[in-house]
Structure 1
Amino acid sequence: MDSLNGFVVFVQVAQTRSFVAAGRLLGVSASAVGKSVARLEDKLGVRLFYRSTRSVTLTAEGTRFLERSRRILAEIEAAQTEISEATARPRGPLRVSLPLVSSLLLPVLGEFMREYPEIELDLDFTDRVVDVIEEGFDAVVRTGVPTDSRLAARKLGSFRWCVVASPQYFERRGTPQVPADLLDHTCLHYRVPNTGKLETWALRRASGEPELTLPVSMICNNIDTRVCFALQGRGIAYLPDFSIRTLLEDGQLRVVLCDHVEREGVFHVLWPASKHPSPKVRVLVDFLGEHVFPATQACDHHGTMRPR
């Protein structure tokens, strides 16, 4: 502790360039400050300051030692903050960016609010790629593989896509048996925000078979619209299984071409990498990890849900 006190005294003298001013800030005499600096110099075997009747200036060795001393004291302060925050109740504003998948995330976030009433959620729903750090988000939930080295990540779960429509639609238009049959059907499409292109329906093709150019009857930029129009029998949609789970279970939608769908996805929660994430970020990450995909499921050939 005496050595640590020597670091504190040294940094104060270096910042104020005065034994008197440093003593005043530390609540000790200038003489005590001078003795502490002298003991530190004796221990290190170098002179840290040039002293005169008018000024105190750092030596070259003192300048190098100041940089290290500041880092040491900052680490100690961070460790103290981490310990104190670990026992503190998570609280305060928490800004989170989320994809446009309200059916998956809103029930979980509602439970999170009940569990942590002192956290103030600020939710931003968008499918565009946000800059977490530059835009000031505490955390984001996104699909795909994390690529930003500035962010820490935790996998929430996986899902797959399904080709679906209402039973009434299939009765009226027939049921596709192979991907090429979709060319004779009404297809509901999603436009990717970042590129402006239509989302590709990843369907398995035979070797040498060209990619299908599917008919376009409607384009939107969210899941809910495609689900709504599919339920109304307006066409066939290509949707993630989590968005239609209950609709498949109660028979309002049916899956086709399950053997031909190749695409799977992964959800991650990401946050600015730090040795000491705040309690509110830690509890959000843990809560999402435990509740978003408690039992990952996928569609089977009959449009029902089965555990993976």
Structure 2
Amino acid sequence: MDQLKRMAVFAEVVAAGSLTAAARRLGMTPSAVSQHLRQLEGALGLALLHRSTRKLTLTEAGARYIEGCTAMVAAARAAEQALERHRDEPEGELRIAAPIGFGGLLARALAPLRRHPRLTLQLLLDDALVDLIDARVDIALRAGSLPDSSLVARRLGSMGTQMCAAPAYLAERGWPGTPQDLAQHDWLGARPFGTATQSLVLHSDAGETATVQVNSRAQASQVTALHALCVEGWGIGVVVSEDDRRALADGRLVPVLPGWQLPDLPVYAVTPRRGEQPAKVRHALALLAAHFDLLPGPAAG
């Protein structure tokens, strides 16, 4: 490493034209610069410069050597500038993992990143959890409670929920009038798989709380499948995706017990490492946090 520093000093001396000018640029004393040159020449066993009281000129060996030294310094500066851009300007590949229902949200929230031409975006949309390290994920969005882990989690906000069902299902099975009536209905999306019964804790607009056990008629690992099951009348589900909200808007789904709600789902941004993040991650996290700040309450998504 000392040899590389001496090579850089030699390149600076040649570029500056004198030891004094090079010392000024490097923040060193002229005697320290001269010592580095002597050590470099001693290590090489060749004189690199002709020194006189008026000027410095390259020896034949110096003329051959300076090209490599200059290239080394230029490469080091280019590497430093690349890291500065990485730190200060979003660039490279930004990999974000999220549940399938978050695709539209991510497209809107991250829209300002289009202004950075050196940045590319990869969205890994899957309701199953991915390994952030193996998949080289920069940010993962996760809803609900988080398992204990070494990952770094930042709460972005929450998503309101609403129970819903297809009109055809309710016409056949009847409308639940109280939370306890849900126990006589088919439920969609209970987890973990293999657990037929799920306990729901509901809160009313009047501040009441009710707990009811519901039975799963169908389960699915993806919200798109749960949405399709709900629209086709398999049972009562929970609005968690934009597809659900569109179906509510056009009447393919209708609210169930609108005066009662399940707890909001907290949404977290999870990153695999602590400490300083590159600009692409910092910018994305700021945009996501700002987006959730603007979301309305119960129907957010």
TM-score of the two chains, using structure 1 as the length reference: 0.60
Seen in structure 2, the aligned counterparts of structure 1 residues 145 and 187 have a Cα distance that, compared at 3 Å, is closer
If you compute each CA radius of gyration, which structure gives the higher value, 1 or 2? 2
Change in Cα spacing, 1:125 to 1:85, as seen in structure 2 (3 Å) is: closer
For residues 198 and 112 of structure 1, the distance between their equivalents in structure 2, rounded to whole angstroms, comes to 44
Structure 1 residue 143: deviation in Å?
1.6
- Does structure 1 residue 175 correspond to structure 2 residue 175? yes
CA contact (8 A) 1:165 1:231 kept: yes
Asked whether 1:220 is paired with 2:238, we answer: no
Q: Specify the code of the residue in structure 1 equivalent to 2:164.
A: V
- Asked if residue 270 in structure 1 is aligned to residue 260 in structure 2, the reply is no
The reply on whether 1:286 has 2:281 as its aligned counterpart is no
CA 126–201 in structure 1, closer or farther in 2 if over 3 Å, else same: farther
In structure 2, the gaps of 5 or more residues are 14-22, 36-41, 44-78, 204-209
Q: 1:141 to 1:255 in 2, by over 3 A?
A: same
Q: Deviations over 1:139-174 (max 9, x none)?
A: 1111235654552x4433212332211223222221
What is the root-mean-square deviation of aligned Cα atoms in Å? 4.3
2:80 is aligned with 1:97: no
> Could you report, residue by residue, the CA deviation over 1:65-111 in whole angstroms, capped at 9, with x for unpaired residues?
xxxxxxxxxxxxx99877655654x2221121111214543542673
For residues 92 and 239 of structure 1, what CA distance do their matches in structure 2 show? 35
Residue 276 of structure 2: SS of its match in structure 1? coil
* Distance in 2 of aligned mates of 1:254 and 1:36: 81
Deviations 1:8-62 (A, max 9, x none): xxxx44xx6xxxx753454289xx99x649x9xxxxxxxxxxxxx99xxxxxxxx
Q: Which residue of 2 aligns with 1:27?
A: 10
Helix, strand or coil: the match of 2:216?
coil
Residue 188 (structure 2) aligns with? 188
Which secondary structure does the structure 2 equivalent of 1:101 belong to? helix
Structure 1, unaligned runs of 5 or more? 1-11, 40-52, 55-77, 299-304
> What amino acid maps onto 2:269 in structure 1?
V
The residue type equivalent to 2:288 in the other structure is L
The verdict on how the C-alpha distance between 1:285 and 1:183 changes in structure 2, with shifts beyond 3 A counting, is same
2:18 counterpart residue number: none
Deviation at 1:220, TM superposition (A): 0.9
Does the Cα contact within 8 Å between 1:164 and 1:237 map onto a contact in 2? yes
Aligned pair 1:111/2:111, yes or no? Answer: yes
- Secondary structure of the equivalent of 1:141? strand
Q: Is the alpha carbon distance of 1:267 and 1:163 closer, same or farther for their aligned partners in structure 2, counting shifts above 3 Å?
A: same
Taking only the aligned residue pairs, the percentage that are identical comes to 24
Counterparts of 1:103 and 1:130 in 2: how far apart (Å)?
Answer: 16
Matched positions, count: 239
